[in-house]
Amino acid sequence: MSVARIPPHHDPACWGCGDNPTGLHLPLPEVEGLEEYEAYVHFDERHQAGPGLVHGGFVAAALDEACGLLATWYRFPAVSARIFVRYRHPVPINTELLVRSELESARGRRIRVRARLTDGGEALAQARAAFLHVPLEHFLATPEGPAAGNAWLRRLGSE
């Protein structure tokens, strides 16, 4: 019996890359196995901390998402194991920013990625993250997991 191959993806409700109305809507990588990822990101008043500045938690989440998208498309599926964020400068709202992640190494189940959030030239924040490659059953164990798995099986059956 052959098992259907499920391609790398994130849940449509994902705050970082899904259709979540308050999310960042980062684009998904185009192909598997990439070792670099970059996308433009825009924070607005919903992401504000001090006047005109992005809350540090949202900055960390954007860096984590850029690292996670790269890790997931490098070896599907992968989950965050740890992330270290260095805030270098205040991050302004209502500004187009570039988030870029790069594969540092992959060994066994562990994938190491680094990322930067820039305003075109200057690094506003940086991250180093470790991800773990996990079996799909990791997600199927959640209450929402079986429904997501069945949706993918239906999608694969229609192709």
Vertex 46, ends 42 and 52: CA angle to 5°?
70
The pair of structure tokens assigned to 105 is 């190494």
Report the pLDDT value the prediction gives residue 156, as an integer from 0 to 100.
Answer: 59
Report the pLDDT value the prediction gives residue 149, as an integer from 0 to 100.
Answer: 66
Average pLDDT over residues 60-66: 97
For residues 127 and 86, the answer to whether their CB atoms sit within 8 Å is yes
Report the pLDDT value the prediction gives residue 11, as an integer from 0 to 100.
Answer: 75
pLDDT tens figures, 102-126: 999 999 999 999 999 999 889 999 9
d(CA 21, CA 19): 6
Largest CA distance in the chain: 59
Least confident of 10-14, 126-130, 138-142: 138-142
Report the pLDDT value the prediction gives residue 143, as an integer from 0 to 100.
Answer: 73
pTM of the model: 0.85
Phi, psi (deg, nearest 5) at residue 138: -55, -40
**pLDDT of 20 higher than 60:** yes
User: How many CB atoms lie under 10 A from the CB of residue 48?
Assistant: 16
**pLDDT of 74 higher than 70:** yes
- DSSP designation for 134: -
Report the pLDDT value the prediction gives residue 22, as an integer from 0 to 100.
Answer: 84
Report the pLDDT value the prediction gives residue 2, as an integer from 0 to 100.
Answer: 43
Antiparallel, parallel or unpaired: β 110-118 and 36-42: unpaired
What is the distance in angstroms between the CA of the first residue and the CA of the last residue of the chain? 19
